Amino acid sequence: MPILHCIVHHIDKATSEQPATLRAAGTPLPATPLVDSLLAAFHDAYHAKTKAWGHFLPEQAQAEAATQPVTQALADYLAERHDFPALTRALAERLLPLVDDHLSTSGHLLCFDYRHGETRYLTLGLVHQREGFGIDDALTLVPATQLNLARMSLALRLNLSQWQEGVASRHYLSWIHDRGGKKLAEALAGALGATEGIDATGETRTLLKAFSDFVEQEELPEEQSREKTEALIDYASAQASRGEPITLEELSELLDEQQPRAFYEHIRNADYGLSPEIPPDKRTLRQFRRFTGRAGGVSISFDSHLLGSSIEYDEQQDRLIIKQVPKQLKEQLKRQG
């Protein structure tokens, strides 16, 4: 990930009673392997978080009493009317009220302008420090201070390429939306002049439901069903780790090389209402797995998330209880009766 610019500002919050203040850096950090490693660690920490995905509102909706819209500041930067320190200082100033209202400790604002493949990104994150321990060359225990990336709760990433090209997308901007951090996430969206454009959790659930329906409809053998499930989860998890969306057509090709559009056409024909590109939700993906088994003329396969709701397992009696019998199976049973 080539870094174009990197700078670190400090937001000081001495006490809960005092307002947050900004100590801005004047120049970007020089490119070094250590900075590269920091971006890689930041990238991994950010994409492990639950996020909201959205886009900027029109500039007239962003305008607040003589406050320049974020999109104008970004446009000035990309047109080289302002440099990276000026852009990031302006963004940092917008975060001060959020720190006052929702956070209680000081932190360093890490800012990166970088490329990943052909795409250019801008990412910012407020990171706190923690005290730890280290061992020096004399094998002596020494105090060590480090950035606590895992506890980052205020961060965002903007796909600059997609936004600048004016691509019709509802999710070129993402920001952390941890459980319990709803008010902070909403405040950040307001400060950016942004709005959620897609429900990543809901879309991921719908995609997995469409996949389950597809497997059931195709009446695939157990081994083939398992292979396709693993292919879907591997691809979706890899996209989540890179911070990239699931592309339905690409996923369909991965699931079946012989019929590369079969799953894609299934989604379109059944009208699940899915977007062509879906930001994957890691938590939902982790919960998805298919239970399968075959013995004595009985073949059973169902998604793990159904266990405990429409399907129950009675371990003492060694039986499965299906509360919602599939329509097709129900009709066959009625005809047999």
CA dist 204 and 1 (Å) reads 27
Higher-scoring residue by pLDDT: 181, 120? 120
Give the range among 34-38, 41-45, 178-182, 259-263 with minimum mean pLDDT: 178-182
pLDDT digits (tens, 9 = 90+) for 188-227: 999 999 998 888 888 888 888 888 888 877 777 767 777 8
How confident is residue 173, by pLDDT bands cut at 50, 70 and 90? very high
* Best CA proximity match to 188, nearest among 218, 220, 155: 155
pLDDT digits (tens, 9 = 90+) for 232-274: 888 888 888 777 888 888 999 888 888 888 888 888 888 788 8
- Check whether 65 has a pLDDT greater than 50: no
Higher-scoring residue by pLDDT: 72, 328? 72
Cα 270 → chain centroid: 26
Amino acid occupying residue 310: S
DSSP state for residue 305 in the 8-state scheme: G
Q: Give the burial string for 103-136 (b: 16+ CB within 10 Å, else e).
A: beebbbbbbbbbebeeebbbbbbbbbeeeeeeee
